[in-house]
A and B are shown apart, each in its own frame.
Chain A
Amino acid sequence: ISLLPLQYDLSASTFSPDGRVFQVEYAMKAVENSSTAIGIRCKDGVVFGVEKLVLSKLYEEGSNKRIFNIDRHVGMAVAGLLADARSLSEVSREEASNFRSNYGHDIPLKHLADRVAMYVHAYTLYSAVRPFGCSFILGSYDEDDGPQLYMVDPSGISHGYWGCAIGKAKQAAKTEIEKLQMKEMTCRELVKEVAKIIYIVHDEVKDKAFELELSWVGEVTKGRHELVPKDIKEEAEKYAKVSNCPSDENLDKVCPSSCYICP
């Protein structure tokens, strides 16, 4: 195994002696540097949660969204280089739109995921371009197929999931997601759990302020992908803060004044 990439990592069109394409692996590292995004599929819909790190107090609230609308019934949450993700969201939108134009109905999510994954994969074949430095999670809901969740990574592979996480805290998030019984939950219950997981995995020491982006698509939205309404989002955030509150009267833990949860 070559521990030192040497000259095998300069272009995506080169294999290393142990069969790795280093450029693709570096692209996946770029995703791991980004803040976390999670998507969970439940009985009657899909919920996305993104931990959007705010680097400056001067930024306008709600700018640089990381959840996109791809089609009426499809949403996309991203992690990694945001500019790359925006470009891919445009590609996804075109695919979905062309499908509807040709075939007269909404694109099935598996097909969309396959098509966009194929596009991402194409950029891992040539030395003239670099791979996309982002992973994204696609979610949709329709009456026939029910809720669907797919994730695509920079290598161009897509998998279907019940729950997945991408970004820096994806391992911690995966552990939390595995504790949930998502197949029996409804979207309303799941929204609160998603908010809670984002608050759990957020690292207060390394990253300070963050905005929580929440979106959902399911029976509750009649099949349209939308940002979660303000009042439901506030309720979910309150639940998340209370669940994560370190102070506990039974264990005699006092509310630490430096905690970020309650302002």
Chain B
Amino acid sequence: MFPANVSTLNTYNDLYPDWTQREVSTGTTIMAVEFEGGVVIGADSRTTTGAYIANRVTDKLTPIHERIFCCRSGSAADTQAIADAVTYQLGFHSIELDEAPLVQTAASLFREMCYRYREELMAGIIVAGWDPRRGGQVYTVPVGGMMTRQPVSVGGSGSSYIYGYVDSNYRAGMSKEECLKFTAEALALAMERDGSSGGVVRLAVISEQGVERQAILGNQLPKFSTV
């Protein structure tokens, strides 16, 4: 993580700026919500190396299969590597079975990898999608490698700031449009407060019909208090 010729003490060193010494992280706020007939997933678009924003238009919503996505938070390298591996395994499995894979299977594959290599990895992943058997599902696989299904799940460094908002505003049985609005507002609030989250809000709706993606850019983000 640190070059050899730099002191590991927390000293400011003009010779080497902060971002040469820091790992690339998707600081992040990610979120996924189940609704009748599918799921809505969302993420911010900021990737940081220390205080430098390495990518301000990142796509953290990664397709694993036709109707299964994952939202990535934690180390960018770790989550990309895991997502690539799971995409391969799931594709192979789907061809063997000759049917669309279950979202639960994808989540199990993520969990297997995140748990087995928990000491080496830093990855918080939300797996969400639609399959013909059980409809829209959201599974969360936080750091450490546990896996659980939840109707709504938030993750990443910005998620701490919006637990209250999510807990008080989530209702079961929301429509697709209500879920989109709920997700966009939650992400906007987190991006406002978390330094590692920002940029644009990327959203996707996954259902039987397929995947619809959209992005909400800076000036169109939901606005809250002007304080």
Q: Which residues of A contact B153 (CB under 8 A)?
A: none
CB < 8 Å A-B pair total: 23
In the bound assembly, the distance between CA atoms of A108 and B108 in angstroms comes to 16
Q: Which residues of B contact A111 (CB under 8 A)?
A: 96-97
Count of chain B residues near A, Cβ 8 A: 13
Contact at A104–B133, with CB atoms within 8 Å?
A: no
Instruction: Say yes or no: is B22 at the interface (Cβ < 8 Å to chain A).
Output: no
Q: Which residues of B contact A57 (CB under 8 A)?
A: none
A210-259 contacts to B, CB under 8 A, are none
Instruction: Say yes or no: is A103 at the interface (Cβ < 8 Å to chain B).
Output: yes
Q: Which residues of A contact B102 (CB under 8 A)?
A: 105
Q: Which residues of B contact A110 (CB under 8 A)?
A: 97
Q: Which residues of A contact B96 (CB under 8 A)?
A: 111
In the bound assembly, the distance between CA atoms of A102 and B110 in angstroms comes to 10
Among the listed B97, B104, B107, B109, which residue makes an inter-chain contact with A108, where contact means beta carbons less than 8 Å apart? B97
In the bound assembly, the distance between CA atoms of A144 and B133 in angstroms comes to 7
* Distance (whole angstroms) from the CB of B141 to the closest CB of chain A: 11
Q: Which residues of B contact A103 (CB under 8 A)?
A: 93, 105, 108-109
Instruction: Say yes or no: is B112 at the interface (Cβ < 8 Å to chain A).
Output: yes
Instruction: Say yes or no: is B72 at the interface (Cβ < 8 Å to chain A).
Output: no
* Distance (whole angstroms) from the CB of A140 to the closest CB of chain B: 15
In the bound assembly, the distance between CA atoms of A110 and B105 in angstroms comes to 17
Count of chain A residues near B, Cβ 8 A: 8
Contact at B107–A104, with CB atoms within 8 Å?
A: yes
In the bound assembly, the distance between CA atoms of A110 and B36 in angstroms comes to 30
Instruction: Say yes or no: is B202 at the interface (Cβ < 8 Å to chain A).
Output: no
B172-210 contacts to A, CB under 8 A, are none
In the bound assembly, the distance between CA atoms of A55 and B149 in angstroms comes to 54
In the bound assembly, the distance between CA atoms of A243 and B158 in angstroms comes to 73
> How does the 8 Å CB contact mask read for A134-164 relative to B, with 1 for contact and 0 for none?
0000000000100000000000000000000
B1-26 contacts to A, CB under 8 A, are none
Q: Which residues of B contact A108 (CB under 8 A)?
A: 97
In the bound assembly, the distance between CA atoms of A110 and B99 in angstroms comes to 12
Contact at A104–B105, with CB atoms within 8 Å?
A: yes
Residue on A nearest B90 in the bound complex, by CB: A103
In the bound assembly, the distance between CA atoms of A102 and B112 in angstroms comes to 7
B69-105 contacts to A, CB under 8 A, are 93, 96-97, 102, 104-105
In the bound assembly, the distance between CA atoms of A164 and B111 in angstroms comes to 40
In the bound assembly, the distance between CA atoms of A105 and B111 in angstroms comes to 13
* Distance (whole angstroms) from the CB of B129 to the closest CB of chain A: 14
B107-157 contacts to A, CB under 8 A, are 107-109, 111-112, 133, 147
Residue on A nearest B107 in the bound complex, by CB: A104
Contact at B97–A104, with CB atoms within 8 Å?
A: no
Q: Which of A104, A105, A108, A110 has the most CB of B within 10 A?
A: A104
21 inter-chain pairs at a CB distance below 8 angstroms, sorted by A residue, are: A102-B108, A102-B109, A102-B112, A103-B93, A103-B105, A103-B108, A103-B109, A104-B104, A104-B105, A104-B107, A104-B108, A104-B109, A104-B111, A105-B102, A105-B104, A105-B105, A105-B108, A110-B97, A111-B96, A111-B97, A144-B133
- Starting from the known contacts A102-B108, A103-B108, A104-B108, 11 additional A-B residue pairs (CB-CB under 8 Å) come to A102-B112, A103-B105, A103-B109, A104-B105, A104-B107, A104-B147, A105-B102, A105-B104, A105-B108, A110-B97, A111-B96
